[in-house]
Amino acid sequence: MTPTELFLQQLVNGLTIGSVYALIALGYTMVYGIIQLINFAHGEVFMTGAYMGLALFLACGVAGAGLASVPLLLGSLALGAAGCSVLGLAIEKIAYRPLRQAPKLSILITAIGVSFFLQNAVMLIFGAQDRYVPSVVPAARWQVMGIVLTPLQGLIFAVTGLTLAVLQGVVYHTSLGRFMRAVAQDPLAARLMGVSVNRVVAATFALGSALAGMGGVLFGMYYSTINFHDGYLTGLKAFTAAVLGGIGNLPGAMLGGLLLGLLESFSAGYLSTQWKNVAAFAVLVLVLLVRPRGLLGERLAEKV
Amino acid sequence: MLTSRRFLGSICTAFLGLFLLAGCGNREPVLKIGFVAPLTGDQAAHGMDMLRGAELALEEALSRGPLIPGCRVELAALDDARSPAQAVAAAKKLASDPDVAAVVGHLNSSCTKPASAIYHEARMLHVNPVSSNPDISRQGFDNLFRVCPTDDLQGPAGARFAIERLGAKRLFVIDDLTTYGRGLANEFIKAARVMGGEILGHEGITQGEKDFTPLLTKIKAIHPDLIYFAGMFPEAALLLKQRFELGVAARFLGGDGLFEPTLITLATPAAAEGAFLTTLGADLRAIPQAGAFVRAFEAKYGHLGAYSSYVYESTGVVLEAIRRAGRKDRQAVLAAMKQIKEYPGILGVHTFDARGDTTLRTIGIYTVKNGKFEFLQAAE
């Protein structure tokens, strides 16, 4: 391996995990943009999505690895997305909506409570052990210019890129998107203009959770193992990514996710694995010192 | 939820106890043998296999008649979730329960070490099944006994196998930053250097992390002959899978923490193929006196776990000490244990040295072949 090949391979490694962070970060950032809530249960929604994919594979009797099946792949992504959006809707309706007028701290604590609830519910259903997740994507290995890329990595890039494009389209070119931006700016004024704030917030949760669900299915297949506490660390990193990119900003979440993945990959590859998190979070602190609103965060007018 | 279930359970037990007291007014005394292992978390597979070993040993002993006349003997199984903090909490719970006379416990060296201090203070017999960090028995605790060989034997055995048998000279070492992992890695490195091996690098990974591709890419670029991993199977499985996907040519050798069939499932058989590992003790199936145990275990539970035999052995040692003591008393049980000169177990005849370590010191070497562990050789 030449130094260039090494660099490119680390780039691919970083972009893969970064794409997963980005998919989850989009959900954090959307919810924050609309109701200024840091939805700490979002990481657990992601983890539940991975288990939904696993449940489908188990139901279809897919036990071994390397079995490629397009219907199963699409089915698992659809189930992860649909299942998690229903979950997101339920969480919003049951745990957050009744508290929307309460102090911000109450709803934050509720979010942490939901996160514990989901972790333990999944543990009771699927057990506390690591579960093996079969991959339904071909297990090939592409060699391009000395670097290795798997079809699953390609799929992760594609899904993440496509998702951002679709989201941008929804937010800036549909009436739902216009409502979302209106609620984000001023919920009361939006309501006076005839926007159903509850529906818009619910739709935001559904969308964000669907992305986390797809991210979970891909994560499970990529690492081939899943555990009930996997949502915690990954969710925390995705949250970091959202803050790094500028919370409330969609391309910012994407950029933050990819950047965090690259930071981890390069610090583990060129410094040492032990220093991976230290390096990544040191950069986060530095960025926030210089740009407190994150890389792409906009200066919002203070609401009075 | 588990806690609340346990809580509900304890309420039920309390009511049942009251009911019994009211009913007959005279409760049969109970002697409890403490048992602690990770029964939840990513290493729960090991923990459950261990618990079954303890249960089988107790069941067989009781089928031969009561150990202490007029006294029930039962297990008090607790979970440490491989967390040192939870291990200490479990140890304190056992130490404060006057019914607990001895303890068989802990899988991870990082759990065993802090917990052992609590058992020592409580003057309670502590038999450790599989925590192989050498320092555990170097704390000067007279109540601590251990039935497995230690990492100052396992590390060098791995190094000798890598260098002499596989001809690997350029080595890269990874550990999981735990007491066990770091200790074993250092023993391996020390021995490998003496045997002429070159250590290209030594890095630690964090338990619970999933993405090791940056580290493996770095390793691929310096193309060592062999990667040595001192850690447990969940991380080993991810390392094997990502090593396979990145096409890292270096061979893979690990310690006894890998000896769990789930390793091959999680890593996928193709990625695990050809990996080597050292284990504490020889091939159980080749030891004649272990045959009855293997048959009984498989008849009852199906698959035989990696550490079941060590826990079976540890529990056997504890039961022998209780039988010799003949009464429910921590001091008496510990005193009886010190009188045991030879214990004929399923792994061989144990005698315990001044530190409490067994004199059975065989290290086994296995490989993964066709998706299964296959015994290669025994090293002294």
Chain A contacts to B (CB-CB under 8 A): 1, 5-6, 9-10, 13-14, 16-17, 65-66, 120, 123-124, 127-130, 132, 139, 141, 143, 148, 150, 223-225, 227, 229-230, 233, 264-266, 268-270, 272-274, 276-277
Are B210 and A225 an interchain contact pair (Cβ–Cβ within 8 Å)? yes
What is the pLDDT at residue A303? 40
What is the pLDDT at residue B151? 96
Mean pLDDT, residues B348-373 taken together: 94
Are B266 and A9 an interchain contact pair (Cβ–Cβ within 8 Å)? no
Mean pLDDT, residues A280-303 taken together: 78
- Chain A residues whose CB is inside 8 A of the B240 CB are none
Domain topology for B152-280+364-378: Rossmann fold (3.40.50)
Residues B188 and B257: beta-carbon distance below 8 Å = no
What is the pLDDT at residue B9? 55
Residue with the bigger pLDDT between A184 and B2: it is A184
Residue A177 lies in a domain: yes
Stated as kind and residue range, the H or E segment containing A245 is: helix A230-245
pLDDT band at B14 (very low <50, low <70, confident <90, very high): low
What is the pLDDT at residue A287? 87
Q: Which of B244, B242, B192, B241 is nearest to B213 (CA)?
A: B242
For B211, the closest of A17, A132, A270 (CB atoms) is: A17
B355 has a pLDDT exceeding 50: yes
pLDDT above 70 covers a percentage of chain A that reads 96
Alpha-carbon gap: A136 to the closest alpha carbon of chain B (Å)? 13
What is the rounded distance in angstroms from the CA atom of residue B251 to the CA atom of residue B272?
Answer: 11
Alpha-carbon gap: B42 to the closest alpha carbon of chain A (Å)? 5
Q: Note the pLDDT tens digit of each residue in A189-203.
A: 999 999 999 999 999
| Residue B351 touches chain A, beta carbons under 8 Å | no
Mean pLDDT, residues B339-368 taken together: 94
Nearest chain B Cα to A147, which residue?
B246
B18 has a pLDDT exceeding 80: no
Cβ atoms within 10 Å, residue B121? 13
Residue A46 lies in a domain: yes
How many CB contacts within 8 angstroms connect chain A with chain B? 100
| Residue B202 touches chain A, beta carbons under 8 Å | no
If you average pLDDT over every residue of chain A, what do you get?
90
Q: Note the pLDDT tens digit of each residue in B52-82.
A: 999 999 999 999 988 998 899 999 999 999 9
Are A9 and B204 an interchain contact pair (Cβ–Cβ within 8 Å)? no
pLDDT band at A282 (very low <50, low <70, confident <90, very high): confident
Mean pLDDT, residues A193-217 taken together: 95
What is the pLDDT at residue B20? 46
pLDDT band at A284 (very low <50, low <70, confident <90, very high): confident
Nearest chain B Cα to A221, which residue?
B266
What are the DSSP calls for A124-192, one per residue? HHH-SS-EE----S----EEETTEEE-HHHHHHHHHHHHHHHHHHHHHHHSHHHHHHHHHHH-HHHHHH
Q: Note the pLDDT tens digit of each residue in A52-88.
A: 999 999 888 776 555 678 888 999 999 999 999 999 9
Q: Which CATH class is domain B30-149+286-347?
A: alpha beta
Mean pLDDT, residues B210-217 taken together: 94
- Residues found in chain A: 304
Nearest chain B Cα to A264, which residue?
B214
Sequence spans of domains, chain B: 30-149+286-347, 152-280+364-378
What is the pLDDT at residue A280? 81
Stated as kind and residue range, the H or E segment containing A119 is: helix A104-126
Q: Which of residues 130-159 of B touch A (CB under 8 A)?
A: none
If you average pLDDT over every residue of chain B, what do you get?
91
Residue A55 lies in a domain: yes
Are A272 and B211 an interchain contact pair (Cβ–Cβ within 8 Å)? no
Mean pLDDT, residues A212-217 taken together: 96
- At position A217, the amino acid (one-letter code) is V
Mean pLDDT, residues B247-266 taken together: 94
Are B211 and A266 an interchain contact pair (Cβ–Cβ within 8 Å)? no
Residue A292 lies in a domain: no
- Chain A residues whose CB is inside 8 A of the B223 CB are 1
pLDDT band at A46 (very low <50, low <70, confident <90, very high): very high
- Chain A residues whose CB is inside 8 A of the B370 CB are none
Residue with the bigger pLDDT between B208 and A51: it is A51
Q: Note the pLDDT tens digit of each residue in B80-127.
A: 999 999 999 999 999 999 999 999 999 999 999 999 999 999 999 999
- Chain A residues whose CB is inside 8 A of the B270 CB are 65-66, 139
B191 has a pLDDT exceeding 70: yes
Residue A135 lies in a domain: yes
B323 has a pLDDT exceeding 60: yes
| Residue B212 touches chain A, beta carbons under 8 Å | yes
pLDDT band at B333 (very low <50, low <70, confident <90, very high): very high
pTM over 0.80: yes
Contacts with A28 (C-beta within 8 Å, 6 or more apart), sequence order = A38, A39, A42, A208, A238, A239, A242, A247, A253
ipTM of the complex: 0.89
B41 has a pLDDT exceeding 90: no
Please indicate whether the domains covering B30-149+286-347 and B152-280+364-378 agree at the CATH topology level.
yes
For A65, the closest of B1, B238, B268 (CB atoms) is: B268
What is the pLDDT at residue B112? 97
Supply the range of the domain harboring residue A87: 20-141+150-230
| Residue B214 touches chain A, beta carbons under 8 Å | yes
| Residue B200 touches chain A, beta carbons under 8 Å | no
Q: Note the pLDDT tens digit of each residue in A105-135.
A: 899 999 999 999 999 999 999 987 888 998 8
Q: What is the 3-state secondary structure (H, E, C) of chain B?
A: CHHHHHHHHHHHHHHHHHHHHHHHCCCCCEEEEEEEECCCCCCHHHHHHHHHHHHHHHHHHHHCCCCECCEEEEEEEEECCCCHHHHHHHHHHHHCCCCEEEEEECCCHHHHHHHHHHHHHCCCEEEECCCCCHHHHHCCCCCEEECCCCHHHHHHHHHHHHHHHCCCCEEEEEECCCHHHHHHHHHHHHHHHHCCCEEEEEEECCCCCCCCHHHHHHHHHCCCCEEEEECCHHHHHHHHHHHHHHCCCCEEEECHHHCCCHHHHHHCHHHHCCCEEEEEECCHHHCHHHHHHHHHHHHHHCCCCCCHHHHHHHHHHHHHHHHHHCCCCHHHHHHHHHHCCCEECCCCEECECCCCEECCCCEEEEEEECCEEEEEEEEC
What is the rounded distance in angstroms from the CA atom of residue B15 to the CA atom of residue B106?
Answer: 31
Query: Domain tally for chain A?
Result: 1
Are B203 and A274 an interchain contact pair (Cβ–Cβ within 8 Å)? yes
For B266, the closest of A66, A132, A273 (CB atoms) is: A132
| Residue B266 touches chain A, beta carbons under 8 Å | yes
Mean pLDDT, residues B129-145 taken together: 95
